[in-house]
Amino acid sequence: MDTISNMLYGFQVVLTFQNILFVFIGVLAGTLIGMLPGLGPISAIAIMIPLSYGMDPASALILMAGVYYGAVFGGSTSSILLNAPGISGTVATSFDGYPLAKQGMAGKALAIAAISSFAGGTVSVVALMLVAPLMASFAVSFGPTEYFALMLLGLTAIASLSEGSTVKALISATIGLIIATIGVDQQTGTQRFTFGSPNLLEGIDFLIIALGLFALAEVCSLILSRKSKMMGGNTNVGSLKITKKEAKDISGPIARHSVLGFILGVLPGAGATIASFMSYITEKKISKDPSSFGKGNIKGLAAPETSNNAATSGAFVPLLTLGIPGSGTTAVLLGALLVVGVQPGPLMLTDHPDVFWGVIASMYLGNIFLLVLNLPLIPFIARILYIPKALLISLVIIFCMIGVYGVSFSTFDLYLLLAFGIIGFIMRLINFPAAPLILAFILGGMMEQSFRQALTISNGSYMTFFDSTVTVVLLVLSVLSLTLPFIKSKLSKKKEEEEKEHLAS
């Protein structure tokens, strides 16, 4: 009952001409900025903040939240069309999205991404509305041991991200883990692998690695293989139509990952990027046909796209109920609230119910706007692929550089980008998968820190990892995820042998 009246109140806040306009402006700006490789929601919100000054706090947050989920919505576009992730949350989108586009199904891939994003966004807003106050305690229930176990579970999936050689996947992952250790060690303040360069003190930004390994490496391959039709000069983006069978295929992942994404989004340590990877991996693991992942499987596209948008709404739970930023982007939103005179914190719901319920209500509207905006635009956006190859490749390189430079304003990072482009290209030549590297990088850093934080708190006792039920469950799942494939393959081999014997006799 309460929820309904609160929601009505929220819609009352949103459904004024002014606020509807702000939702629209927010999602439009967000989705356009998100489409550009490298420019993520943080930059997008930064651009919008000056506009919000002097605005009513609810309107300001409505606008900026719109930019945020708009950017996550739009971020899939460049992942799919150019293999250049628009934001870190859409790296996993490129795994199957780009192969689809390569096969001349860019239109369909974009449509699936839009629909998954819409579904993930909407389902998670409903969840946000219904359970936000209840989820608040869940958000802080994860401490160092829980995060360690969660990241470990993610890492155990690395073998499943490989095409072919598991050994190569593990080597690639190891390199990712090594890169994650670069910088000042957070727990001791010791410099690791910085070689005395102040530029490396804070480690390497995720985006540099992602754009280098994916976008630049792809560009290199395209330059060398002139026959390839992809990226430019392509006259076929395919139809937007999704067949009944395809709709049925993606309904499962959408349902699953709306929930998973939301839950991971609520956890302050996880967020959209980890959620999208976890969803991709989960979907691949439970798939009957895992070998088709990475080659243009629509489930592999729908899963991360649903998940990253669901996680975006989830990230509003700690923000709105506790005043704790769950991610870099929500931290910026927190700052934006300060500017308009709202002190973010646990009392926001009582002090500023218009902000709380207004933002939630605006997200329903925003998601509808995004779908309506994006679907008709797809044929036009996909025309990017008609741009002559030489021109398009140059554009991709320029955008990657702008994206990287725009984050750090450091030329050093541009050289790093180049270095990772070359590494990515070499890895392709010798058939090393890049996905395990990026996954290990993103999970590894946090896993290490959580592990050591846990041990500091427990005075070095490993028993701390068995104190919490959540940790134990996650650890058991990790062990299963690691061993089950081996057991399975052994069993099936045995079966085959038995069958052979059977036939022979």
Partner 1 sequence: MKKRKSMFMSLLLGSALVMSACGSSESSSSSSADGGEWSPTKPIEMIAPAGAGGGWDTTARTISKVMEKENVIDKRMAVANKPGGGGAVGWSYVDKKGGDHTLFVTSPPILFVPLNGQSDLGHNDFTPIAGVIADYSAFTVPANSPYDSMNDLVEALKEDPTSVSVVGDSSPGSMDHMAFVKAVKAAGVDIKQLKYVSAQDGSGMSMLLGNKVDVYSTGLAEATEQARAGKVKVLAVTSPEPLEGETVSEFPTLKEQGIDDEFIVWRGIMGPKDMSAEARAFYEQAVKDMMETDEWKAQRDNFGWNDNFMSGEEFQAFLDQEKETMESLLKEVGLAK
Binding site for partner 1 (CB under 8 A): 42, 45-46, 49-54, 139-144, 184, 186-189, 191, 198-199, 201-202, 268-269, 318, 322-325, 327-328, 331-336, 338-341, 343-347, 407-410, 446, 449, 453, 456-457, 459
User: 192 has which bridge partners?
Assistant: 183
Closest distance between partner 1 and the C-beta of residue 265, in Å? 14
Q: Which C-beta is closer to partner 1: that of 202 or that of 496?
A: 202
Task: Give counts: helices (H), strands (E), the chain.
Answer: 21, 2
Nearer to partner 1, 252 or 345 (CB): 345
3-state secondary structure of 289: coil
Closest distance of CB 36 from partner 1, Å:
17
Nearest Cα to Cα of residue 246 among 115, 103, 82: 115
Measured CA angle at 62 (ends 329, 58), to 5 deg: 115
Toward partner 1, which CB reaches closer, 409 or 462? 409
Question: Angle formed by the axes of helices 298-314 and 57-82, to 10°?
Answer: 160
Distance CA 427, CA 417 (A): 15
- Contacts for 17 with CB less than 8 Å, ≥ 6 apart: none
For the bound state, the minimum distance from the C-beta of residue 271 to partner 1, rounded and expressed in Å, comes to 10
Tokens representing residue 15 in the block: 């459904």
What's the min distance (Å) between Cβ of 464 and partner 1? 10
**Smallest gap from residue 183 Cβ to partner 1 (A):** 9
Q: Which helix (H) or strand (E) holds 442?
A: helix 435-457
Least distance in angstroms from the C-beta of 277 to partner 1: 17
In the complex, least distance from residue 326 CB atom to partner 1, rounded to whole angstroms: 9
Q: How many angstroms separate the CA atoms of 399 and 291, rounded?
A: 32
Minimum distance of partner 1 from residue 463's CB (angstroms): 15
Rounded Cα gap, residues 211 and 399, in angstroms: 10
Please, which residues bridge with residue 183 across strands?
Answer: 192
Instruction: Select 187 or 489, whichever has its Cβ closest to partner 1.
Output: 187
Residues paired with residue 191 on neighbouring β-strands, in sequence order: 184
In terms of CB distance, is 199 or 228 closer to partner 1?
199
Q: Which is nearer to partner 1, 45 or 177 (CB)?
A: 45
Please list, in sequence order, all residues whose beta carbon lies within 8 angstroms of the beta carbon of residue 41, skipping any fewer than 6 positions away: 30, 33, 34, 67, 68, 71, 72, 87, 329
Nearer to partner 1, 189 or 244 (CB): 189
For residue 324, what is the enclosing H or E element? none
- The nearer residue to partner 1, 18 or 141, going by C-beta atoms, is 141
Measured CA to CA in angstroms, residue 339 lies from 46, 335, 342 at distances of 12, 6, 7
| Residue 217 Cα distances to 63, 142, 233, 423, angstroms | 36, 37, 19, 8
Taking the least distance from each CB to partner 1, the nearer of 402 and 482 is: 402
Beta strands in 59-204 (DSSP E): 183-184, 191-192
Least distance from partner 1 to the Cβ atom of residue 200, Å? 8
DSSP-assigned beta bridge partners for residue 184: 191
